[in-house]
Structure 1
Amino acid sequence: MAKLNEIIECAVVIIGVVCLTQGKAGQAKNSIHFLTLGDFGGMPYYPYATPIEMAVAKQMSKVADKNPIDFVLTLGDNFYFDGVKSVDDPRFTETYSRVFYQRSLAVDWYMVAGNHDYKGNISAQIAYTKVSKTWKYPDYYYKMAFTIPGSDMTLEIIMIDTIILCGNTDDEIDLAPSGPVSLTAAKQHWAWLAKQIEQSTADYVIVAGHYPVLSVGIHGPTKILLDNLQPLLHANNVTAYFSGHDHNLQHLQSSEKASVVDYFVSGAADTIDPFLKHKADVPKGALKYFWGKVISLGGFGRVEVYKENMTFTFMDSFGKTLYQHAMLPRHRRK
């Protein structure tokens, strides 16, 4: 099954790779362009993908057809409901490569784990990096650096494992994570994360994980991240934090000590949850946008990083622009 998936991915990579060398209409690229989605993990029984996941994949490919993307950034819960069992698990094909098969999506997909992934074999998802041409999951947590074309300005994305940091949770009984399974592993992860953020000189810095720091949805804010990550983000003027977990689209913003951090929740790629259960649990005025349209076919995020600004756009599966927000480079934010 792993070999079949490799053959499928090779085909679309060969066809689509030329698209990444040029921008729209053959113009030279002047930005980093990527898509972001969370909670896209299909279902554990036939047809192994929901109508929402398939519609999101189709619209993502249309966006990438018009303006080629550099990569896709995922935000956890890659496989519902219990992750995968091994590197040969057919779910890699059924829920991933047969859904996101379009040639315009034949780019690097950077992965991170969600709580449902941890019910299965996370090491198998990491090992699948060596099987797939597009699936990129080098370790439980890792950092990526990119240069904006035509400039010396940079973007860094720090991918974190919020289950190592906070512990797991059971969605069926709506429990918040109560603490890490291994205090040693969590301590090592926090030390690594602090070092990456504090030492970064990038013009834009994104931290991305599964659990949200701030959210008004069913799960709400994650206390451990509020207590430990949010101060780190503000102290170092981090541009934004991306997460999933709540199955909707949200933009929230917090201000502290003259530093503004933007929080984007993009978890609407498989099912939709319209409830604002924790609206009173975020600071007044923090919520800038919320979308959870149950009768829709989901949504995702589109990010364009220029020298002048980084723009985050929420889109639905019909191609409609739902919301857009621009952020300045870090040296211009203070």
Structure 2
Amino acid sequence: MAVFCKESMVMFLLVASFSISYCSSATRLKKIDHSAKDNGNLRFLVVGDWGRKGDYNQSVVAFQMGRIGEKLDIDFVVSTGDNFYTNGLTGEDDRNFLESFSNVYKAKSLQTLWYTVLGNHDYRGDALAQLSPYLRKIDSRWICLRSFIINAAEIAEIFMVDTTPFVKEYFVETEHTYDWRNVMPQKTYTQNLLNDLENALSESTAKWKIVVGHHAIRSVGHHGDTNELVERLLPILRAYDVDLYMNGHDHCLEHISDTESPIQFLTSGAGSKAWRGDVKGLNNEEMKFFYDGQGFMSVQLTPTHVEIEFYDVFGKVLHRWSRSKHLLHSII
């Protein structure tokens, strides 16, 4: 039996508050228009690597997300993938969806749209189940597509990118089985995605350009840099003046500045199980912040200003970074 959120009227308004359309003929990425609040600000939370039925402090992180979400009056939540452990969902009726999502993120402030990408653990299950509109009948907050664009109140465009098919090792390892339906051939899929992303970025007139994927471009955590993204995705981000790249995959919180552009690499993959002490090196000037415990991140945007905050399981602000476009300098 389908289980709906208690705030049924809120959910009805949420469904009415956004629409899905296509970009111009130059790109095949779907675009979701998310309406703005009257104050002209945009605020959202970012969390990744979370779906463990409340265990490994997932419920504690969710509680703090609800508290901060209420304080900031957030517009939506972004999930950076690995939504359901250990091996994604088994199908559309898998109770893990309720036990790891609907029953955990119950705070009133979190009864808003969740824009979600797939992670590598999601591909180990029925990837198409997470993409199915059926899940929105169970919980109408759930918006999960492979790659798409959030047109956020004309302040920002957030480009959600399906990064798992870029990673070559997933196609040769034998320990796990991946759901590559609608992805193969891999080279064609990834090249088409890059072409679509480049076209969309070239057309964007947003004040802020944000790209979200599951895998890190730069990280000092367990997995480190994703070489395929460094080689193929990073040059596009630099060429089209992307401001922020957000990811999960490494179970930590971190902030690294690019050496050749204004891009900030922001990891928010600490939604549940964290990897204490699993660090590849912190001694470089580009590393602004690293924390190997659980937590999440908030983003506050105006047309001219962005502020990022990282929080731990107690809701304490661990790191804050901001930039004003008209001032052309950062405050760290």
Instruction: Using the TM superposition, give the Cα deviation of residue 261 of structure 1 relative to its aligned residue in structure 2, in angstroms.
Output: 0.6
Alpha carbons of structure 1 residues 202 and 129: separation in structure 2 relative to 1, 3 Å:
farther
Instruction: Using the TM superposition, give the Cα deviation of residue 270 of structure 1 relative to its aligned residue in structure 2, in angstroms.
Output: 0.7
Q: Is this contact kept in 2: 1:167–1:181, CA < 8 A?
A: no
Q: In structure 2, which of residues 135, 142, 166 is the aligned counterpart of residue 135 of structure 1? A: 142
Deviations 1:306-328 (A, max 9, x none): 13311110011211111011133
Q: Which residue of 2 aligns with 1:301?
A: 297
Instruction: Using the TM superposition, give the Cα deviation of residue 266 of structure 1 relative to its aligned residue in structure 2, in angstroms.
Output: 0.6
C-alpha distance in 2 between matches for 1:112 and 1:300: 16
Q: Which residue of 1 aligns with 2:266?
A: 264
Kindly indicate whether residue 37 of structure 2 is the aligned counterpart of residue 37 of structure 1: no
Unaligned runs of 5+ in 2: 18-36, 176-183
Instruction: Using the TM superposition, give the Cα deviation of residue 331 of structure 1 relative to its aligned residue in structure 2, in angstroms.
Output: 10
Q: Is this contact kept in 2: 1:78–1:117, CA < 8 A?
A: yes
Q: Which residue of 1 aligns with 2:81?
A: 76
Q: In structure 1, which of residues 314, 320, 323 is the aligned counterpart of residue 316 of structure 2? A: 320
Alpha carbons of structure 1 residues 330 and 83: separation in structure 2 relative to 1, 3 Å:
farther
C-alpha distance in 2 between matches for 1:87 and 1:99: 18
Deviations 1:248-307 (A, max 9, x none): 100001132xx3110000111111113354327x9x4221100014xxxx2100110013
Q: In structure 1, which of residues 278, 284, 300 is the aligned counterpart of residue 280 of structure 2? A: 278
Alpha carbons of structure 1 residues 81 and 310: separation in structure 2 relative to 1, 3 Å:
same
Aligned length: 297
Q: Which amino acid aligns with 2:290?
A: F
Deviations 1:184-229 (A, max 9, x none): 1111111111112222221101100100000001100000111111
Q: Is the partner of 2:151 in helix, strand or coil?
A: strand
Kindly indicate whether residue 221 of structure 2 is the aligned counterpart of residue 217 of structure 1: yes
More helix by share: 1
C-alpha distance in 2 between matches for 1:64 and 1:212: 25
Q: Is this contact kept in 2: 1:203–1:330, CA < 8 A?
A: no
Deviations 1:98-153 (A, max 9, x none): 0001221100000100000000111110114542310011x311011112xxxxx5
Alpha carbons of structure 1 residues 188 and 331: separation in structure 2 relative to 1, 3 Å:
farther
Kindly indicate whether residue 186 of structure 2 is the aligned counterpart of residue 191 of structure 1: no
Alpha carbons of structure 1 residues 331 and 160: separation in structure 2 relative to 1, 3 Å:
farther
Q: In structure 1, which of residues 106, 112, 120 is the aligned counterpart of residue 111 of structure 2? A: 106
Q: Following superposition of structure 1 onto structure 2, how do residues 22-33 of structure 1 map, counting pairs within 5 Å?
A: 29-33=39-43
Instruction: Using the TM superposition, give the Cα deviation of residue 16 of structure 1 relative to its aligned residue in structure 2, in angstroms.
Output: 8.0
Say what the alpha-carbon RMSD is for the aligned residues.
Answer: 2.7
Instruction: Using the TM superposition, give the Cα deviation of residue 68 of structure 1 relative to its aligned residue in structure 2, in angstroms.
Output: 1.4
C-alpha distance in 1 between matches for 2:129 and 2:168: 19
C-alpha distance in 2 between matches for 1:330 and 1:89: 48
Alpha carbons of structure 1 residues 73 and 316: separation in structure 2 relative to 1, 3 Å:
same
C-alpha distance in 2 between matches for 1:330 and 1:171: 48
Q: Which residue of 2 aligns with 1:154?
A: 155
Alpha carbons of structure 1 residues 90 and 262: separation in structure 2 relative to 1, 3 Å:
same
C-alpha distance in 2 between matches for 1:55 and 1:210: 22
The sequence identity of aligned pairs, in percent, is 31
Q: Is the partner of 2:258 in helix, strand or coil?
A: strand
Q: Following superposition of structure 1 onto structure 2, how do residues 113-124 of structure 1 map, counting pairs within 5 Å?
A: 113-124=118-129
Q: Which amino acid aligns with 2:203?
A: Q
Q: Is this contact kept in 1: 2:304–2:326, CA < 8 A?
A: no
